[in-house]
Chains A and B, each alone.
Chain A
Amino acid sequence: MWTYSKKLEYPVNIKCPDPRLAKVIISQYGGPDGELAASLRYLSQRFGMPDQNAKAILNDIGTEELAHLEMVGSIVHQLTKGASIEEIEKAGLAPYYTDHGVDVYPQSAAGVPFTAAYIACKGDPIANLQEDLAAEQKARATYEKLIDLCRDNPDVIDPLRFLREREVVHFQRFGEALRGVQDKLANRKFYMNNDCNVKPATDNNDCGCGN
């Protein structure tokens, strides 16, 4: 289960609201490569992982993504806080304002509402981990585009750079988890059915020699 900690993982303090930036950054909240999709993707995939390391990494990265969701939500909130109707209109946020006011609603930069179709759970640990590696790279690329678009606002760039960096670390960890899963599948008989209960405790000290 989860408990809430009343602090952001990395601080967000934006002095100059700018609804134009909120309009694009919201994609990392509820867009195809956003933090909501990432957390749900990993937390859903963890159930089907064949070894302890892969379960742990999906559990723990999925949890960190929830903290990132909160950070992105805070950025969007602070960028729209106190904005005038004229500023909102000028930013192209009139349609958003019509349906959501200045609430933080999970949607892409293009206005597509969040959908579970962004999440892949293929029932295959290799396919899932490959998907996660791609997802981290796509999120990194998105953050880089957002950093380009936010070039005039250092208060926004700072947390975005932190979030971008985390994508790089997650990619690294998923790569290691994938190698572990591949070794495991190569080294022993692995039955892919629901009756097969892989006992994680006994696999812990597995040196990989197959004995």
Chain B
Amino acid sequence: MHNNCMEQTRNEMLMQIREYNFSIIELALYLDTHPEDKKALCLHKEYCKSLKDLEDKYQKVYGPLTIKYPCNKWRWLEEPWPWEGDAN
């Protein structure tokens, strides 16, 4: 795969992770004050699963998103940091 193409896929995956992540944050805040809402709970469950699957897939290719992802070599230092702007 071309570098550009790979970078694009990476950014797309990251954006999707961000979307699930944000949806979970938003639902959690809502559920904190509406813990009985079945529909919200159901959506939360669905997004948690989607997020986990997508993060697993992403980390296999692009390296760890957190220090809790095991690697055969220490890949935490490889990718640019999110504050560096290019690929955050």
Residues in chain A within 8 A of chain B (CB atoms): 1, 46-47, 52-53, 55-56, 59-60, 200-201, 204
- State the majority secondary structure of interface residues on A: helix
Give chain B's interface secondary structure class.
loop
Chain B residue nearest to A197 in the complex (CB): B84
Q: Are A59 and B81 in contact (CB under 8 A)?
A: yes
Closest chain-B Cβ to A64's Cβ sits at a distance in Å of 10
Asked if B81 contacts A60 (CB within 8 A), the reply is no
A200 near B80 with CB under 8 A, answer yes
Size of B's binding interface in residues, CB under 8 A: 11
CA A52 to CA B81, docked complex, whole Å? 9
Cα–Cα, bound, A200→B78 (Å) = 8
Neighbouring A residues of B81 by C-beta, 8 Å:
46, 55, 59, 200
Residues of chain A lying within 8 A (CB to CB) of residue B76: 56
Contacts of B21 in A (CB 8 A): 1
- Tell me which of A47, A52, A53, A201 contacts B83 (CB under 8 A): A47
What are some 22 contacts across the A-B interface (CB < 8 A)? A1-B21, A1-B82, A46-B81, A46-B83, A47-B83, A52-B77, A52-B78, A53-B77, A55-B81, A56-B76, A56-B77, A59-B81, A60-B67, A200-B77, A200-B80, A200-B81, A200-B84, A201-B78, A201-B79, A201-B80, A204-B77, A204-B78
CA of A201 to CA of B87, assembled, Å: 12
Given the complex of chains A and B, what is the CA–CA distance between A25 and B21 in angstroms? 36
Among B1-48, those with CB < 8 Å from A are 21
Query: Which 10 pairs of residues, A with B, have the shortest CB-CB distance?
Result: A52-B77, A56-B77, A55-B81, A47-B83, A56-B76, A200-B80, A204-B78, A60-B67, A204-B77, A53-B77
